[in-house]
């Protein structure tokens, strides 16, 4: 059993998946559309902006399998692969929070770098990266080499959606974006207004593709989330982050350590 996993009943029918002392997922079995964390809503907005019908989705990072459940519910028949190295975590989560009938979600007990290399070229409409260890995105998931492998697995018009975190100065985010942009040149970033303006540590969802992003749908979907969110893309995004050197496998760094949480509550 994973020593740092805790499943917390929120008293309203939902469960918070805590990992390494940090809230990682929120699951309500009878309402998979209910997405509590802002970054999960942002990831879902990216998925929702794509053409209707089933999507082949590869998820790097599993935890409570919140987004795979959402995709299975909103786009029935979608084949999904989840790369989650902690098999004990997956076993405990699935025992307490079983997946819905008829799902096409396959969980593979491997890390993202290992698991992605085993996938076929152009096999995914979407690659979602939402993987943390000790509250930080691992260094091996922020490099140009990693994103080159992501591009190989994506279909020509496929989309990457990656959840990351940074301090208010956003210097790690700038280098991470430079790594993505070097491989997938059409990029956007979604964050709350407070994070976007550098007022606090927080999450940003990076969106990227080799081709034009679905900007006819994505802004509307972001505006439909329950948070005061901002979407920045193209030259505006490049200008806001400033020049930065991409991460490589030789000099990669995990995302900064998150602040200590004295308490946590569902918003």
The domains of the chain are located at 38-241
Cα 52 from Cα 48, distance rounded (Å): 8
CA dihedral for 110, 48, 7, 228, sign (positive or negative): positive
Look at residue 9 in the predicted model and tell me its pLDDT.
85
Look at residue 265 in the predicted model and tell me its pLDDT.
42
Q: Does residue 157 carry a pLDDT above 80?
A: yes
Mean pLDDT over 28-56 rounds to 94
Mean pLDDT over 40-48 rounds to 97
Helix, strand, coil percent content, the chain, rounded in steps of 5:
30, 25, 45
DSSP string, 133-184: BTTB--GGGSSHHHHHHHHHHEEEEEEEEEEEEE-TT-HHHHHHHHHHHTTS
Mean pLDDT over 62-76 rounds to 93
Asked which of 16-20, 174-178, 179-183, 259-263 is least confident by mean pLDDT, the reply is: 259-263
Look at residue 264 in the predicted model and tell me its pLDDT.
42
Look at residue 44 in the predicted model and tell me its pLDDT.
97
Q: What is the pLDDT of residues 159-169, one digit of tens each?
A: 999 999 999 99
Look at residue 93 in the predicted model and tell me its pLDDT.
87
Look at residue 135 in the predicted model and tell me its pLDDT.
83
Look at residue 261 in the predicted model and tell me its pLDDT.
59
Look at residue 266 in the predicted model and tell me its pLDDT.
41
Asked which of 83-97, 139-153, 238-252 is least confident by mean pLDDT, the reply is: 83-97
The mean predicted confidence, pLDDT, of the chain is 91
Give 50's contacts (C-beta < 8 A, 6+ positions apart): 125, 126, 159, 214, 217
108 or 5, which is more confident: 108
Look at residue 24 in the predicted model and tell me its pLDDT.
79
Q: In this structure, which long-range contacts are made by residues 190-193, counting pairs with CB atoms below 8 Å and at least 24 apart in sequence? A: 190/42, 190/45, 190/46, 190/222, 190/229, 190/230, 190/231, 191/42, 191/229, 191/230, 192/38, 192/227, 192/228, 192/229, 192/230, 193/228, 193/229, 193/230
Mean pLDDT over 173-181 rounds to 97
Q: Which residues of 213-233 are buried (b: 16+ CB within 10 A; e: fewer)?
A: bbeeebbebbeebebebbbbb
Q: Is 69 helix (H, G, I), strand (E, B) or coil?
A: helix
Q: Is 35 helix (H, G, I), strand (E, B) or coil?
A: coil
Q: Which CATH architecture has domain 38-241?
A: 3-Layer(aba) Sandwich (3.40)
Q: Does residue 245 carry a pLDDT above 80?
A: yes
Q: Does residue 267 carry a pLDDT above 60?
A: no
Closest CA to 28 of 143, 37, 196: 37
228 or 170, which is more confident: 170
Q: How far is CA 57 from CA 69, 82, 146, 197, 242, in A?
A: 12, 8, 17, 31, 31
Q: What is the pLDDT of residues 188-211, one digit of tens each?
A: 999 998 898 888 999 999 999 999
Give 151's contacts (C-beta < 8 A, 6+ positions apart): 183, 184, 210
29 or 24, which is more confident: 29
Q: Residue 53 — very low, low, confident or very high, per pLDDT cuts 50/70/90?
A: very high
Give φ, ψ of 171 to 5 degrees. Answer: -75, -35
């Amino acid at each position: 059993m994973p020593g740092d996993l805790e499943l917390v009943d929120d008293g309203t029918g939902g469960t918070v998946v805590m990992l390494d002392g940090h809230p990682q997922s929120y699951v309500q079995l009878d309402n998979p559309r209910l997405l509590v964390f802002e970054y999960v809503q942002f990831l879902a907005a990216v998925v929702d902006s794509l053409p209707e019908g089933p999507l082949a989705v590869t998820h790097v990072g599993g935890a409570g399998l919140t987004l795979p459940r959402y995709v299975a519910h909103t786009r029935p028949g979608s084949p999904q692969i989840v790369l989650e190295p902690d098999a004990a975590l997956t076993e405990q989560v699935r025992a307490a929070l079983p997946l819905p009938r008829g799902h096409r979600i396959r969980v593979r007990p491997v890390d993202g770098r290992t698991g992605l290399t085993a996938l076929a070229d152009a096999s995914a409409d979407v690659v979602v990266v939402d993987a943390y260890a000790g509250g930080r995105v691992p260094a091996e998931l922020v490099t140009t080499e990693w994103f080159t492998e992501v591009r190989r697995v994506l279909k020509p018009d496929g989309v990457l959606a990656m959840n990351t975190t940074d301090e208010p100065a956003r210097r790690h985010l700038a280098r991470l974006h430079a790594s993505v942009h070097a491989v997938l040149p059409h990029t956007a970033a979604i964050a709350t207004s407070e994070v976007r303006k550098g007022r606090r540590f927080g999450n940003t969802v990076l969106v990227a593709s080799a081709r034009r992003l679905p900007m006819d749908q994505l802004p509307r979907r972001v505006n439909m989330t329950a948070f005061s969110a901002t979407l920045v893309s193209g030259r505006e995004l490049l200008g806001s982050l400033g020049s930065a050197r991409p991460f490589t496998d030789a000099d990669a760094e995990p995302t900064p350590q998150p602040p200590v949480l004295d308490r946590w509550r569902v918003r």
